[in-house]
Amino acid sequence: MKTRIMALAAAAVLAAAMAPAAAQETPGTPPAKQADWSVPRTEWGDPDLRGMYPLDQVGRTPMQRRPQYGDRLLMTDEEYAEALRSAEEVEGGADREDASNTLGGGNWFEYGTALRQTALVVEPAETGRIPEMTAEGKRRQQFMKSSWNGQVFEGLADFNSLDRCITRGMPATMVPFPYNNGVRIFQAPGWVVINHEMIHEQRFIPLDGRPQPPAAVKSWLGSSRGHWEGDTLVVETTNFNGLSPMVIVGPSNGTSGIPTSTGMKIVERFTPFGAGRLYYEATVEDPEILTGPFKIAYPWAANNGYEPFEYACHEGNTLVIANIRSTSPRYAQWREQNERALAEAGGVIERSQGANE
C-alpha cells in the first residue's frame, strides 16, 4: 500500500506539472529544456540519465489512438479531465476491495494516470496507430498464441515469451503494463543499462562504437548500440530473433498481437529536458511485418522513491505452464487415454510423453 500511495502521488505531480503546458505540447518532439537548468553530468562526463522512471505515470494512455479522437494528437480540456478522473477511479480499486474485505483486480493492477496526448503512438500522426500489417505479417499473426487468447494448451508453442517469463519483447518492453512498471537507468563509463521490474530483464547498451554482431547472432531483445548526440542518448537495436511479439496479446494495446521478424530495427532517443525528466522516442521498422514504420514518444519522470517488487517468475515459467496445460481439454483427454492404456497393460507403460512435454 505504501508503494502504491507513493506512485499515485508522483503520478498526480506529473499530471499537474504537464497540464498547464498541454496546449503547447507537440507529441513526438522533446520539450524545450527547463529555464535555468543544465543537464547534469556523470563523474566521467556523460549526460546523467540515472534514476527510476516508473511507466505507470502514463499507464492510462493507450498505445494506439482510440477512434473517438480522430486525427487529434491531444485531448481537449474536458477529455483530459475525464481521463484523469477515470484513472483516479481505477486506482481506487484497491482501497474499495480492502474496505469490503475482498481481493481482485484492484489489488493487482496499477495502471497509474494518463497523458493529455491521445496515444503513445505519435506517428503516423493522422492515425496514431501501428500501420497495417503486410500479407506475411497477417499470415504469421494467425499462428500467434498465448495464455491471453488460448483455450487449448499442448506445448510451449501455445505460450508466448511473456507467458514463459522470458521477455515482453520490443518495443512492448518500453511501454506501460498494468503492473510492475519500474524502469531504472544505470550508467558506467562506456555503458548504459536499462533494468525493468517486469520479468526482471536488463538491456545492456555499449557506447564505445563497437559494431553489431554478425547477422546470425540473434536474441530476444536484440543487440543494442548507443551513442550521444549532444545530451541525447541514441540507441539502435537490431539482431532480433523474431520469436517475441511486437505488441503482446493483453490489456490496453488494442490489438490481437503483432509478430516480429529478424529484420526489425528500432531507434530510440532519450532526451533530458528538466530535473528528473526525460523524453523517450522509439521509431520501429519491420518491413517484413508492417507496411510502414511507426513512432512511440512520451515523457518520463523520475521517482526514486518508487520501490520495485520482485518479479518472482523464472525463465520457462514451468509451474504455471504445467498448471495451465493440466486444465486443457485435450491434455485431460490425453491423460485419460494414457491412464486407461496403462491400466490395460498392467501398469508397465512408461509415462514419458507427459514428462517431456
Cell for 23? 496546449
| CA atoms 10, 13, 19, 25: torsion sign | negative
Nearest Cα residue to 193 out of 49, 295, 13: 49
Residues 297, 279: contact at Cβ < 8 Å? yes
- The closest alpha carbon to 268, from 247, 244, 291, 237, belongs to 237
222-277 pLDDT, tens digit per residue, is 999 999 999 999 999 999 999 999 987 544 444 558 999 999 999 999 999 999 99
Place of cell 523520475: 302
Q: Could you tell me if 297 and 280 are in contact, meaning their C-beta atoms sit under 8 angstroms apart?
A: yes
3-class state of residue 335 by DSSP:
helix
> How buried is 340 (Cβ within 10 angstroms: 0-12 exposed, 13-18 middle, 19+ buried)?
exposed
Which pLDDT belongs to residue 282? 98
Average pLDDT along the chain: 83
Give the distance from CA 330 to its chain's centroid: 32
- In this structure, what C-alpha cell is assigned to residue 346? 498392467
Contact (Cβ atoms closer than 8 angstroms) between residue 237 and residue 350: no
Closest listed residue to residue 282, CA positions, set 304, 260, 264, 261: 264
Cα–Cα distance, 353 to 335 (Å, whole number): 10
Cell 506445448, residue?
155
Output the pTM of the full model: 0.82
**The dihedral formed by the CA atoms of 296, 301, 307 and 310, expressed in degrees to the nearest 10:** 10
* Closest to 233 (Cα-Cα) out of 48, 33, 65: 48
At 311, the pLDDT band (50, 70, 90 cuts) reads confident
Q: Which residue has the higher pLDDT, 28 or 260?
A: 260
Lookup: cell for 342: 496403462
Give the model confidence (pLDDT) of 114-149 as tens digits: 999 999 999 999 999 999 999 999 999 988 888 777
- Based on its alpha-carbon atoms, the radius of gyration of the chain, rounded to whole angstroms, reads 22
For residue 48 the three cell numbers come to 546523467
* % of the chain at pLDDT higher than 70: 78
Bond before 30 cis per omega within 30 degrees: no
Task: Please work out, in degrees rounded to the nearest 5, the angle formed at the alpha carbon of residue 353 by the alpha carbons of 350 and 355.
Answer: 90
Distance CA 144, CA 167 (A): 15
| pLDDT value, residue 2 | 36
Q: What is the DSSP string of 162-173?
A: TTTTS---TTGG
Q: What pLDDT is attached to residue 336? A: 62
b/e sequence 308-327, b meaning 16+ C-beta within 10 Å = beebebeeebeeebeebbee
Q: Which of 57-66, 188-197, 242-251 has the highest mean pLDDT?
A: 188-197
Compute the 3-state secondary structure of the chain and give helix, strand, coil in percent, each to the nearest 5: 30, 20, 50
Candidates 84, 109, 87, 94; CA nearest to 1 is 94
Residue type, 323: N
As given in the structure block, the three cell numbers for residue 131 are 500501420
Contact 177, 348 (CB under 8 A): no
